[in-house]
């Protein structure tokens, strides 16, 4: 399994100026973008935003500032005159020397997804049933979630979210399969991720929905615990009444 991996490390400078309830929001995002350990394709990106819209960007591959608004274009002209040499040097000064640290601290790490397969209510559509395969808390972002019906990949009636950032470096994704159950068939969700040495398969067990199984498990545990306590009480009572204790 090979997956394209693109990472970036960001340093964000945020400055916001508030006027009453509504505010104006300015921020600058400085990134070293790594796409491989040998530093091939490394990029330095320096972006300026006003109210979330990027108005000027320096891209080391382009080699100059480019403006996206009238104000951005004006700034780009001035900065290309005054700061270009300095900005061109940032790749060598900042990104390349920090690559080792960034790779060992973050980029080389991989964390396996926790996967849950569940039955969910389908949208009123062509099929009466829907399964959801959710992968949680994995890193890095690239992942592949596919559905198999009796060992064959299913492409139709499958929808998936993007890889959603938790905001804590980890990601989650949810893939849905709408289907019409057939007796005896085997439905599986397959997850491929760089943290896994081989694709992981999760087989759908249609016998009982998980919530029902949980209720039965809780009920059974309660019954066992109750029986033990009742027996213990009974033995205690018997011994006490027969004068042993
Ligand atoms: C930087 O510019 C190069 C060349 O145009 C482009 O391929 C790359 O996607 C740009 N990077 C970013 C982050 O915009």
* Cβ–Cβ under 8 Å, residues 188 and 205: no
- Which residue's CA lies nearest to atom 6 of ligand 1? 61
Local confidence pLDDT in tens for the 245 residues of the chain: 444 445 555 555 555 555 555 678 889 999 999 988 899 999 999 999 999 899 999 999 999 999 999 999 999 999 999 999 999 999 999 999 999 999 999 889 999 999 999 999 988 878 999 999 999 999 999 999 999 999 999 999 999 999 999 999 999 999 999 999 998 899 999 999 999 999 999 999 877 666 777 888 899 999 999 999 999 999 999 988 887 66
Has residue 226 been placed in a domain? no
Has residue 224 been placed in a domain? no
Do residues 169 and 137 share a domain?
yes
Do residues 8 and 103 share a domain?
yes
Has residue 222 been placed in a domain? no
Question: DSSP letter at 9?
Answer: E
Answer whether 5 contacts ligand 1 (Cβ < 6 A): no
What's the domain count of the chain?
2
Q: Which atom of ligand 1 is nearest to the CA of 45?
A: 13
- Which residue's CA lies nearest to atom 12 of ligand 1? 59
Has residue 167 been placed in a domain? yes
CATH number at residue 155: 2.60.40.10
CATH number at residue 45: 3.10.320.10
Domain extent for 141: 114-203
Do residues 95 and 127 share a domain?
no
Provide the edge-to-edge strand list for the sheet that holds 144-149.
152-154, 144-149, 187-192, 200-203
DSSP string, 86-105: HHHHHIIIIIHHHHHHHIII
Looking at the DSSP bridge assignments, the partners of residue 154 are 147
Task: Measure the CA–CA gap between 79 and 58, rounded to whole angstroms.
Answer: 10
Has residue 208 been placed in a domain? no
Do residues 77 and 119 share a domain?
no
> How much is the CA Rg of the chain, to the nearest whole Å?
29
């Amino acid at each position: 399994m090979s997956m394209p991996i693109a990472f970036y490390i960001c340093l964000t400078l945020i400055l916001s100026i508030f006027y009453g309830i509504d505010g104006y929001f300015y921020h600058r995002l400085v990134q070293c973008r790594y796409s491989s350990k040998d530093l091939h394709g490394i990029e330095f990106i320096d972006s300026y935003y006003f109210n979330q819209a990027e108005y000027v960007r320096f891209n080391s591959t382009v080699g100059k500032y480019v403006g996206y608004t009238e104000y951005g274009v004006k700034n780009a002209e001035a900065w290309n005159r005054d700061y270009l040499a300095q900005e061109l040097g940032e790749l060598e000064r900042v990104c390349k020397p920090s690559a080792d640290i960034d790779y060992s601290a973050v980029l080389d790490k991989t964390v396996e997804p926790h996967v849950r397969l569940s039955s969910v209510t389908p949208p009123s559509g062509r099929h009466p049933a829907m399964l959801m395969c959710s992968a949680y808390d994995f890193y890095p972002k690239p992942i592949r979630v596919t559905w198999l019906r009796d060992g064959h990949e299913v492409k139709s009636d499958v929808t998936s979210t993007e890889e959603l950032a938790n905001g804590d470096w980890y990601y989650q994704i949810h893939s849905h399969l709408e289907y019409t159950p057939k007796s005896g068939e085997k439905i599986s969700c397959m997850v491929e991720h760089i943290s896994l040495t081989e694709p992981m398969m999760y087989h759908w067990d249609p016998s009982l929905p998980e919530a029902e199984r949980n209720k039965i498990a809780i009920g059974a545990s309660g019954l066992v615990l109750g029986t033990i306590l009742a027996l213990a009480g009974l033995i205690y009572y018997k011994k006490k009444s027969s004068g042993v204790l």
